[in-house]
């Protein structure tokens, strides 16, 4: 189930499309423009054009572009890929050209660029780690720089993960140029991966002494079939390879390397591969921890000499002892200790501020640098004046700058620590794969002749792996020998062990509970189900929710506004003191009016926190999507999360969604003198070419009559599948029609009274009646039953209690549809609907003000899934439906519709709480720091406390998001056990 789902969860290649991941299509437009005959149209050769479309954020955007293009005359086909921001159009040049198509896309509200179509054009994805970003101002600057590069189709920068995902055209721009663009913005960039659809591996080679040896190894590897690229890194004795897993694999590379050097070279998978993702985070945590400790060591004496020792009589005399004129020992100690804190430990803030100001986008580092510099350099001025004057007794603020930096470093340390926990879901998924595997050697007859324990990363396609009880399955594949039960809960969220026997598929990372299995590996490395789930969750966490635009807009003006308020605060208090606008008794004995004004100005500058605003949305989305993945609900990004929490209407498909999706033939009535076996032979020959669940049920029933697992059916010629109606084919020179009433009416086939009665009887029992005609004469009626999913009725009831309307849309007949709807409690039913009619119904609901979620599993559901605000695909459904959806319910359970909606609501209530806290903190904190309470209460906020509050605000927002990790599905679902419904 999950392997099938993962084959298309936005990730696996579509070899036929070349440029685009498979996308759902709206029903085909007319082959030729209106008024043009088929003879005229067939003389025109169609052309293909590829467009880069910037600005699409969701499936609805893709749908609007696709529809706009298809309205043009001369469009043969249009496919829009929202993931890669591409549109591929097949058109007839006699009727329309590339420029007209481009203009229509731009008229739809998106920026379009024509890309000349050639075989070398493709889109690749690279992931980049970016160090030094502190707030949304930084991430927006980097994102803008990346999107301005020629050849970059799409760029997303995530502040919470400190990563960027860039979709680019490699024959226009290279990933090295992309890295340089990031470096030019002032941040450090490191490549994580490139060519997402290409398998890649790093191998460490020992024994290399000369450059000639490395070149020899490189040439030997490039000669291997399936190797697409070889990069050597002599300084690390490392070789990086890109390859096609169908043709070769890591064991072949190691063997070639070792044989090249006559066993002089030793090769193994580069040891850093497993821990690269977390090593950066751990190093960043260590850096902040070290910086904070050193800062603390130097700051504590500064604090003590400034605020504690002055009250101890014996020590106070020594600290206040004069050295030169009015310069005291305490001032010298504080200056000496505060200087390394300011310029060595605090260097990162100067560096960040310089980069931000150079790019014209001031960030948090600018506020910190200005605030600490004001305190430090005023203190230097005070000390130097005291050393050169015999009557000046100033007050220094060295403790302010030192303590500010210490508290901010503590806050950043706690923030990085907390942010690391937001991606725990990915870390847990990545750790599921076992370290080793048992590789079996088979003879020509399939008998085991040997076994060897190998590193699981060395598994290649078509290897046979032995999985013992209690061990994890090392790779995706299928069972060729043995039977057992496998616990797939860590991948699918399904708690019950799943029985596995010969021919059944297994997923890498799942646990074999009993029995020994021999598994043939089919998907390895980056193609495995686990790798693709990880990539899907990573992409989801990279995508910005629309609500984040609010924070991005504020961040543009936040820092300049704070600097203005800070300066205004200082100026107001300074002028008030100069013109005696307040009593002198308000000024503390240890300072004058200028120093009081300076403290207020510094406090305003350092209490303002743009970080909390920037982290409010992405941290919650990261945790929310991670929690969803752990519960078997894959949410494709912040857009899907945001739309889901607004849903107030759910449209359900029937077959495979409300019902189990495994229909069986329960009754057959022949209206002519035919042998039942011969009748089913003709019907199965026509239906075997169809993917519809009802067709499969008929073929399975026919197999039982033949008592043959793999029968050979008669040849079906001129096969046509008519969506929403049935199939038509020529079998043994007879025209066979298998389908519903509409199909018969369209082909002028009269229905006898017996057939009408049987259809009515089947529909009354919630069964689907299927009519069979041979040579335009009805010869039989089949009744097919598809039982309801155990929880269907309860799920509809719970949705109703959540004030969410439920509607059923199906291609089945009205009688069956109404019977099923009554049974589950759905009041609104649309039956006998074609795929385009399902999509139109969704749009009608949207036009009436509904926020619509569509739940479906079939190819005919994909237009509706795209059209809906949120498309939810059942995990056991068809590939195209899963690709079209915004959310994939991996367990195929209806109750997960409720869980997905509830999780999105909880996530967005957390985002709102984060925003309320972040905005409220700044709205309250800035006036208090500016001295709003000082006239009435004499309360003022020292700068170092303001800095501590600023650091705490970011940490509190991240911790608030982390609370989502403890999400539990609604209690209403606790007593509902799927696959065996038990209500306690």
Report the catalytic residues.
653
| Of residues 605, 641, 608, 603, the one with CA closest to residue 622 | 641
To the nearest 10 degrees (0 to 180), the angle between helices 398-422 and 329-340 is 30
**Cα-Cα-Cα-Cα dihedral of 957, 958, 963, 966, to 10°?**
160
CA neighbours within 13 Å on the CB side: how many for 110?
A: 31
Look up residue 508 and give its two tokens. 């890498």
Residue with tokens 């303002």: 608
Look up residue 691 and give its two tokens. 């993917």
| Of residues 958, 898, 228, the one with CA closest to residue 621 | 958
Exposure string (b/e) for 839-848, b if CB count within 10 Å is 16 or more?
Answer: bbbbeebbee
Which regions of 308-369 does DSSP assign to beta strands (E)? 322-324, 327-328
3-state secondary structure of 974: coil
Please report the DSSP string for 581-608 in residue order. -S-GGGS-TT--HHHHHHHHHHHHHHH-
Instruction: Please say whether the beta carbons of 453 and 437 come within 8 A.
Output: yes
Instruction: Please say whether the beta carbons of 792 and 737 come within 8 A.
Output: no
Cα separation, 561 vs 555, whole angstroms: 10
Instruction: Please say whether the beta carbons of 165 and 123 come within 8 A.
Output: no
Instruction: Please say whether the beta carbons of 12 and 83 come within 8 A.
Output: no
User: In this structure, are strands 734-739 and 768-774 parallel, antiparallel, or unpaired?
Assistant: antiparallel
Cα separation, 529 vs 512, whole angstroms: 17
Contacts of 879 (CB under 8 A, 6+ apart): 4, 7, 8, 22
For residue 956, the surrounding DSSP H or E stretch is helix 943-962
Residue 370 burial (10 A CB sphere; 0-12, 13-18, 19+): buried
Which strands form 199-206's sheet, in the order they lie side by side? 227-233, 238-243, 199-206, 266-269
| Residue 275 DSSP one-character state | G
Residue 627: strand pairing partners: none
Cα separation, 876 vs 870, whole angstroms: 18
Cα separation, 892 vs 101, whole angstroms: 39
Cα separation, 949 vs 607, whole angstroms: 6
Look up residue 143 and give its two tokens. 């994102």
Cα dihedral sign for 403, 406, 412, 416?
negative
Look up residue 932 and give its two tokens. 């709003």
| Of residues 837, 888, 879, the one with CA closest to residue 858 | 879
Cα separation, 596 vs 610, whole angstroms: 25
Residue with tokens 């007593």: 975
Instruction: Please say whether the beta carbons of 904 and 644 come within 8 A.
Output: yes
Residue 823 burial (10 A CB sphere; 0-12, 13-18, 19+): middle
Largest CA distance in the chain: 126
Instruction: Please say whether the beta carbons of 10 and 196 come within 8 A.
Output: no
Q: What angle do CA 400, 402, 407 make, to 5 degrees?
A: 90
Cα separation, 124 vs 228, whole angstroms: 14
């Amino acid at each position: 189930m999950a392997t099938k789902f993962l084959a298309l969860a936005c990730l696996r290649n579509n070899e036929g499309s070349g440029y685009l991941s498979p996308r759902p299509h709206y029903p085909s437009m007319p082959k030729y423009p209106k008024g043009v005959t088929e003879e005229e149209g067939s003389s025109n050769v169609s052309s293909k054009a590829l467009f880069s479309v910037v600005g699409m954020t969701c499936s609805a955007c893709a749908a609007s572009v696709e529809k706009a293009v298809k309205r043009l005359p001369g469009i043969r086909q249009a496919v829009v890929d929202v993931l890669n921001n591409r549109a591929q159009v097949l058109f007839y040049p006699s009727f329309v050209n590339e420029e007209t198509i481009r203009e229509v896309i731009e008229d739809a509200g998106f920026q379009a660029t024509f890309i000349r179509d050639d075989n070398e054009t493709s889109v690749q994805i690279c992931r980049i780690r970016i160090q030094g970003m502190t707030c949304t101002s930084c991430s927006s600057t980097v994102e803008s720089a990346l999107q301005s590069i020629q050849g970059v189709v799409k760029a997303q920068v995530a502040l919470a993960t400190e990563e960027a995902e860039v979709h680019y055209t490699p024959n226009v721009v290279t990933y090295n140029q992309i890295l340089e663009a990031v470096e030019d913005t002032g941040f450090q960039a490191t490549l994580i991966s490139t060519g997402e659809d290409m398998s890649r591996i790093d191998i460490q080679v020992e024994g290399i002494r000369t450059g000639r040896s490395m070149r020899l190894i490189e040439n030997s590897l490039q000669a291997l079939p399936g190797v697409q690229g070889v990069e050597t890194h002599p300084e690390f004795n490392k070789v990086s390879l890109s390859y096609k897993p169908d043709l070769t694999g890591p064991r072949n590379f190691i063997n070639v390397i070792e044989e090249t050097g006559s066993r002089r070279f030793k090769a193994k998978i580069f040891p850093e591969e497993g821990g690269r993702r977390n090593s950066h985070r751990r190093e960043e945590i260590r850096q902040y921890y070290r910086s904070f400790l050193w800062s603390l060591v130097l700051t504590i004496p500064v604090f003590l000499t400034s605020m504690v020792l002055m009250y101890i009589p014996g020590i106070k005399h020594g600290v206040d002892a004069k050295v030169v004129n009015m310069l005291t020992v305490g001032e010298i100690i504080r200056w000496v200790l505060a200087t390394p804190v300011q310029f060595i430990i605090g260097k990162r803030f100067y560096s960040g501020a310089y980069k931000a100001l150079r790019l014209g986008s001031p960030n948090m580092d600018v506020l910190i640098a200005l605030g600490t510099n004001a305190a430090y350099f005023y203190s230097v001025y005070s000390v130097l004046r005291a050393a050169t004057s015999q009557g000046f007794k100033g007050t220094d603020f060295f403790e302010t700058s030192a303590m500010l930096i210490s508290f901010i470093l503590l806050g950043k340390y706690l923030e990085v620590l907390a942010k690391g926990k937001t991606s725990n879901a990915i870390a847990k998924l990545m750790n599921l794969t076992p370290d080793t595997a048992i590789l079996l050697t088979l003879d020509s007859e399939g008998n085991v002749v040997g076994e060897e324990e190998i590193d699981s990363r060395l598994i290649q396609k078509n290897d046979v792996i032995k999985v013992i009880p209690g061990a994890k399955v090392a790779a995706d594949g299928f069972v060729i020998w043995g039977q057992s039960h496998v616990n797939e809960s860590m991948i699918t969220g399904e708690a019950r062990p799943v029985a596995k026997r010969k021919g059944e598929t297994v997923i890498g990372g799942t646990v074999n509970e009993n029995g020994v299995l021999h598994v043939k590996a089919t998907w390895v490395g980056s193609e495995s189900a686990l790798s693709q789930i990880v990539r899907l969750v990573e992409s989801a966490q990279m995508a910005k929710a629309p609500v984040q635009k609010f924070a991005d807009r504020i961040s543009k003006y936040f820092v300049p506004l704070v600097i203005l308020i800070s300066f205004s605060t200082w100026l107001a208090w300074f002028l008030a003191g100069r013109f005696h606008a307040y009593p002198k008794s308000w000024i503390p004995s240890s300072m004058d009016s200028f120093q009081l004004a300076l403290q207020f100005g510094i406090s305003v500058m350092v209490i303002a926190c743009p970080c909390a605003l920037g982290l409010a949305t992405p941290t919650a989305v990261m945790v929310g999507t991670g929690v969803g993945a752990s519960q078997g609900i894959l949410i494709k990004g912040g857009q899907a999360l945001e739309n889901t929490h607004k849903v107030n209407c759910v449209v359900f498909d029937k077959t495979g969604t409300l019902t189990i999706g495994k229909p069986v033939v329960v009754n057959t009535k022949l209206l002519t003198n035919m042998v039942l076996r011969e009748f089913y032979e003709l019907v199965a020959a026509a239906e075997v070419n169809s993917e519809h669940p009802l067709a499969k049920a008929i073929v399975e029933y026919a197999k039982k009559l033949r008592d043959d697992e793999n029968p050979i059916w008669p040849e079906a010629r001129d096969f046509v599948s008519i969506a929403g109606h049935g199939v038509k084919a020529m079998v043994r020179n007879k025209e066979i029609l298998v389908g519903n009433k509409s199909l018969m009416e369209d082909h002028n086939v009269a229905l006898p009274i017996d057939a009408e009665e049987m259809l009515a009887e089947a529909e009354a029992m919630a069964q689907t009646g299927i009519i069979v005609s041979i040579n335009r004469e009805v010869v039989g009626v089949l009744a097919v039953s598809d039982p309801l999913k155990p929880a269907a009725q309860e799920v509809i009831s719970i949705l109703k209690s959540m004030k969410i309307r439920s509607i059923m849309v199906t291609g089945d007949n009205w009688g069956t549809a109404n019977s099923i709807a009554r049974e589950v409690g759905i009041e609104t039913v649309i039956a006998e609907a074609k795929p385009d009619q399902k999509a139109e119904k969704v749009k009608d609901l949207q036009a009436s003000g509904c926020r619509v979620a569509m739940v479906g599993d079939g190819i005919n559901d994909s237009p509706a899934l795209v059209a809906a605000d949120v498309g939810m695909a059942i995990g056991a459904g068809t590939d195209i439906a899963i690709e079209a959806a915004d959310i994939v319910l991996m367990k195929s359970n209806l109750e997960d519709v409720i869980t997905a909606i509830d999780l999105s609501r909880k996530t967005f209530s957390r985002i709102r709480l984060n925003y309320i806290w972040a905005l409220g903190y700044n709205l309250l904190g800035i006036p208090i720091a500016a001295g709003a309470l000082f006239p009435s209460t004499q309360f003022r906020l020292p700068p170092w406390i303001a800095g501590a509050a600023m650091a705490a605000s970011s940490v509190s927002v991240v911790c608030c998001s982390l609370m989502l990790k403890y999400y539990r599905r609604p209690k209403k679902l606790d007593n509902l056990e799927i696959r065996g419904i038990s209500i306690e």
